[in-house]
């Protein structure tokens, strides 16, 4: 991606080139606090962990503009992170070619024109979400995440902009108690925070590696298994071309959309998904969105079994 252009006004503004279709309204619906005028985001900057915000607006068919709430010296990094969160760092001009090869993708793109994956702010935040959702239903995990943000995050505000940013790794690494989370989940959150501080959850580093190596490195973090590693690489680092072998919800969506037998194996599904290259992550996102499963959720066999009590020893969960 070319370096963002920063304009010298009251707040730094970066321009992001858009290659291919992009629907800002669809992206805004996936970003709490956003509205018809702008996509609003707040997050810790990768590596620096400074809390920042951005208001993203479309200025032309080929350009979006990100107004950055951050010191000018880090604005370029913030704009780059915004670009990744909205999947604008990938050239989407070739995505329609996948639809030409695959009639199911054609229907999905017609139903959701211009939709690109909206990601977690970072692999670090995606890994924390994976820890929270393990053995817990998504609605409950969202309440715990909201409480973590309220108690340990930071409010980013400027004029009418006011959003809460996720806690930095330094804060979570020192978290000794959080009502309802339990000792095991807290230990795993601390492990994720340490890994982020040590650079193991750097998006560029993970995307530069062969997929198998990146997944193996992620699985070396305590509490991160195969399913979580795929979700972190796909929805945190923003790898555009990953087929999640452990995501059973995606597999079921494929069987439904392609009218395949219930016993269609994962290797067979992966072979079918070869037609989606180099946008396998994007098609997986559309399948989940179309099926009605919130796109920041996912299910593995391990997660499903965990719903009945993998973390029961942690004590009562928050109601």
Query: Can you give the pLDDT at residue 304?
Result: 45
Could you give the domains of the chain?
5-93 (3.30.310), 123-314 (1.10.340.30)
Instruction: With CA atoms as reference, report the closest residue to 75 among 16, 162, 163, 155.
Output: 16
Q: What CA–CA distance (Å, rounded) separates 86 from 210? A: 23
Binning pLDDT at 50, 70 and 90, where does residue 306 land?
very low
Query: Can you give the pLDDT at residue 10?
Result: 56
pLDDT > 90? residue 227: yes
How confident is the model over 107-125, as pLDDT tens digits? 999 999 999 999 999 999 9
pTM here is: 0.89
The Cβ-side half-sphere exposure at 144, using a 13 Å CA radius, reads 26
Q: What CA–CA distance (Å, rounded) separates 64 from 57? A: 6
Binning pLDDT at 50, 70 and 90, where does residue 231 land?
very high
Q: What CA–CA distance (Å, rounded) separates 22 from 264? A: 33
Q: What is the mean pLDDT of residues 206-233?
A: 97
How much is the mean pLDDT over the chain?
89
Binning pLDDT at 50, 70 and 90, where does residue 159 land?
confident
Give the Cβ contact number of residue 129 at 10 Å: 25
How confident is the model over 149-158, as pLDDT tens digits? 999 999 999 8
Indicate the DSSP class of residue 35. Answer: B
pLDDT > 50? residue 318: no
Q: What is the mean pLDDT of residues 164-174?
A: 97
How confident is the model over 14-60, as pLDDT tens digits? 999 999 999 999 999 999 999 989 999 999 999 999 999 999 999 99
Query: Can you give the pLDDT at residue 315?
Result: 38
Provide φ and ψ at 310, rounded to 5°: -55, -35
Q: What would the two tokens of residue 38 be?
A: 């702008």
Give the Cβ contact number of residue 206 at 10 Å: 23
Query: Can you give the pLDDT at residue 293?
Result: 55
User: By the 8 A CB rule, do 36 and 112 touch?
Assistant: no
Q: Percentage of the chain with pLDDT > 70?
A: 88
DSSP assignments along 101-149, one per residue: H-HHHHHHHHHSTT--PPPPSSHHHHHHHHHHHTTS-HHHHHHHHHHHH
Whose tokens are 């409480």? That residue is 147
């Amino acid at each position: 991606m070319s370096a963002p252009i920063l304009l010298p006004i009251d707040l730094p503004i970066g321009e992001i080139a858009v290659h291919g279709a992009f629907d800002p309204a669809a992206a805004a619906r996936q970003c709490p606090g956003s509205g018809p005028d702008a996509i609003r985001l707040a997050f810790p900057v990768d590596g620096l962990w400074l809390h920042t915000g951005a208001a993203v607006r479309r200025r032309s068919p080929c350009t979006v503009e990100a107004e950055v709430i951050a010191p000018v010296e880090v604005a370029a990094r913030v704009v780059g992170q915004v670009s990744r969160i909205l999947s604008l760092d990938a050239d989407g001009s070739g995505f329609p070619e996948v639809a030409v090869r695959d009639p199911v993708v054609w229907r999905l793109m017609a139903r959701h024109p211009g939709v690109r994956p909206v990601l977690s702010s970072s692999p670090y935040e995606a890994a924390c979400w994976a820890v929270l959702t393990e053995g817990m239903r998504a609605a409950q995990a969202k309440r715990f995440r909201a409480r973590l943000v309220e108690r340990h995050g930071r409010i980013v505000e400027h004029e009418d902009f006011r959003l809460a940013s996720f806690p930095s790794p330094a804060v979570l690494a020192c978290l000794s108690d959080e009502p309802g989370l339990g000792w095991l989940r807290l230990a795993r959150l601390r492990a994720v925070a340490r890994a982020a501080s040590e650079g193991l959850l750097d998006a560029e580093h993970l995307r530069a590696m062969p997929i198998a190596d990146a997944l193996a490195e992620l699985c070396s973090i305590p509490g991160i298994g195969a399913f979580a590693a795929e979700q972190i690489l796909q929805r945190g680092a923003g790898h555009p071309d990953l087929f999640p072998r452990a995501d059973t919800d995606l597999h079921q969506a494929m069987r439904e959309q392609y009218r395949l037998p219930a016993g269609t194996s994962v290797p067979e599904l992966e072979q079918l998904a070869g037609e989606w290259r180099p946008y396998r992550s994007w098609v997986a996102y559309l399948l989940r969105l179309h099926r009605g499963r919130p796109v920041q959720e996912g299910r593995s066999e391990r997660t499903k079994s965990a719903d009945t009590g993998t973390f029961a020893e942690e004590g009562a969960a928050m109601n």
